[in-house]
């Protein structure tokens, strides 16, 4: 097996090839690292590679094959892990100087479940610092570049995970999504990128950004692979009180059932938002037409309150972040600045040295909106808007089985293009944020290349709470009819 072959294979093909002894899990691992050695210097998708962990996992898979025992469903599949998820034997840096030397002392539940399903832990993927960003330019360890165009961003904050999958350096990867940090980089890199319902996947072991919004989900190069990963990581976890005890089932079981009679709503007012590129709008409308040609019942729907989602999110998210990041003070966790005169000076020096500009901006914003005299005016109002958005979605799902929106208003933008304009950067998540506020599942499916740039466009498929099965079925039908193939990597 060579590095080019492993870069084009899906999860099922890899696990079946290992089971049939066409190749071994160790050969898969060797080919994976050979490909990374070739491509990684230009892309910088990883903060840490973990070949010892991956080889040990591969040897365990090969031992199972030799013994003739049953293999787990993701046996020998190379996987990347976003660098805000704990795994013993790795550092968990969150892309920040504050945690650059932090060694994981326990496992994130979603990561452990992925590895128990047979996946190989290839490495920890680069990200915007503490998941604050939409471009992976805010990482303290340098930006990640988009495999489709190395002068462009891969999106964020899970840009390293997205780029690693898009370039074929891993087959699957885990990311976290607080306001679009899985789906938006998926759209910009031409990968399938999925956020489950809030509570579907445990958050235990994920370094928190905003606890009422965060959710872990997969990147892959196919809807089927995404469904396979969700099979592995979903389900109740006693270590996470917000995880929900609902039936998971097999998300691959009805992928090929088609969309005949499925009610699909295309969200009209989201298409009309200022800043939506005409090529993105056209691709979303074309995606709806593809589903209609397969028998879906397509109609338009308005979600007028959702246009206020971004404003509500940038009050609620930073407020929760300012509380969650208080622990990184140089005493309990994180970088400790030398030479401090007293404890207050230690706090100020450690946090000033350990946090980047965007992290400081969001902590200050969140602390301000929670302060006396402003809580009701900002945080209270944002929570009311959140309730209205969730109610509006609930009404829409009385009429429709799934909804379609763009994932990102534009294709991948150039490195540095929005770095000095936080508002322009925040607008990258205008279509994804409402789902986090409402706790809904969504998946970005690449459907087309923009004619003007040749860069991928993603369409977002949204379903009701805990109805990932219907979402995957619609996404698979869209993927099959669109015929998009993720092939950006330079050999």
Mapping DSSP to helix (H, G, I), strand (E, B) and coil, where does residue 466 land?
A: coil
Report CA 430 to chain centroid distance, whole Å.
16
Q: How many CA atoms lie within 13 A of 66 on its CB side?
A: 9
For 122: left if phi > 0, alpha if psi spans -120 to 50, otherwise beta; the answer is: alpha
The C-alpha atoms of residue 381 and residue 347 are separated, in whole angstroms, by 31
Choose the catalytic residue: 157, 202, 243, 444: 157
146-156: b (≥16 Cβ within 10 Å) or e: bbbbeebbbbb
Burial class for 19, CB neighbours closer than 10 Å (0-12, 13-18, 19+): middle
Describe the crossing of helices 11-19 and 223-233 by its angle, rounded to 10 degrees: 70
Q: Name the phi and psi angles at 266, rounded to 5.
A: -95, 125
| Residue 181 annotated to the active site | yes
Query: Under DSSP, is residue 450 helix (H, G, I), strand (E, B) or coil?
Result: coil
CA distance 206 to 111: 9
Catalytic residue of the set 181, 243, 350, 408: 181
How far is residue 336's CA from residue 349's CA, in Å, rounded to a whole number?
8
Would you call 255 helix, strand, or coil by DSSP?
helix
Q: What are the DSSP E strand ranges found in 46-130?
A: 46-49, 78-82, 120-125
Q: Helix 51-67 to helix 11-19 angle, to the nearest 10 degrees?
A: 50
From the list 24, 82, 195, 444, the catalytic residue is 82
- Residue 149's closest CA among 174, 172, 134, 166? 166
Measuring CA to CA, which residue among 393, 372, 414, 422 is closest to residue 309?
A: 393
Task: Mark residue 132 as left, alpha or beta (left: phi above 0; alpha: psi -120 to 50; beta: remaining).
Answer: beta
Annotated catalytic residues are 82, 157, 181
């Amino acid at each position: 097996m060579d590095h080019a072959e492993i870069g084009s294979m899906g999860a099922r093909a890899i696990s079946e090839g290992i089971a049939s002894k066409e190749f071994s899990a160790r050969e898969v691992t060797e080919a994976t690292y050979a490909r990374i050695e070739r491509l990684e210097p230009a892309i910088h998708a990883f903060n840490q590679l973990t070949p010892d962990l991956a080889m040990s996992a591969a040897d365990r898979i090969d031992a199972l094959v030799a013994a003739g025992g049953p293999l787990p469903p993701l046996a020998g599949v190379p996987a990347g892990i976003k660098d805000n998820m704990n795994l013993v034997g790795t550092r968990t840096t969150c892309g920040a100087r504050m945690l650059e030397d932090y060694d994981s002392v326990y496992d994130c539940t979603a990561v452990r479940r992925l590895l128990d399903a047979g996946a190989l832990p290839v490495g920890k993927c680069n990200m915007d610092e503490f998941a604050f960003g939409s471009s992976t330019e805010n990482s303290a360890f340098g930006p990640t570049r988009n495999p489709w165009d190395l002068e462009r961003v891969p999106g964020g904050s899970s840009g390293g995970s997205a780029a690693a999958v898009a370039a074929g350096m891993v087959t699957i990867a885990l990311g976290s999504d607080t306001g679009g940090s899985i789906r938006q980089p998926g759209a910009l890199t031409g990968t399938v990128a999925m956020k489950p319902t809030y509570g579907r996947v445990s958050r235990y072991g994920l370094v928190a950004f905003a606890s009422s919004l965060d959710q872990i989900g997969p990147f892959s190069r196919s809807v089927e692979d995404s469904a396979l990963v969700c099979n592995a990581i979903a389900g109740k976890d006693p270590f996470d009180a917000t995880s929900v005890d609902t039936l998971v089932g097999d998300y691959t079981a009805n992928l090929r059932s088609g969309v005949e009679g499925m009610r699909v709503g295309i969200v009209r007012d989201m298409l009309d938002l200022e800043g939506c590129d005409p090529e993105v709008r056209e691709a979303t409308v074309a995606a709806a037409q593809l589903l209609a040609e397969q028998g879906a019942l397509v109609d338009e729907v308005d979600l007028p309150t959702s246009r206020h989602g971004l404003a509500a999110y940038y009050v609620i998210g930073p407020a929760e972040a300012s509380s969650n990041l208080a622990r990184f003070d140089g005493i309990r966790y994180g970088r400790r600045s030398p030479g401090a005169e007293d404890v207050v000076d230690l706090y100020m020096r450690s946090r000033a040295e350990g946090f980047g500009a965007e992290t400081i901006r969001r902590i200050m914003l969140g602390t301000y909106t929670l302060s006396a005299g402003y809580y009701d005016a900002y945080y209270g109002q944002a929570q009311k808007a959140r309730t209205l958005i969730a109610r509006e979605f609930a009404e829409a799902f009385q009429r429709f089985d799934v909804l379609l929106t763009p994932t990102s208003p534009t294709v991948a933008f150039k490195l540095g293009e929005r770095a000095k304009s936080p508002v322009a950067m925040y607008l990258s998540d205008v279509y994804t944020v409402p789902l986090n506020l409402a706790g809904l599942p969504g998946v970005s499916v690449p459907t087309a290349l923009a004619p003007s740039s040749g860069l991928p466009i993603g369409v977002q498929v949204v379903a009701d709470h805990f109805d990932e099965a219907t979402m995957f079925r619609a996404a698979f039908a869209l993927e099959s009819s669109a015929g998009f193939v993720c092939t950006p990597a330079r050999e």
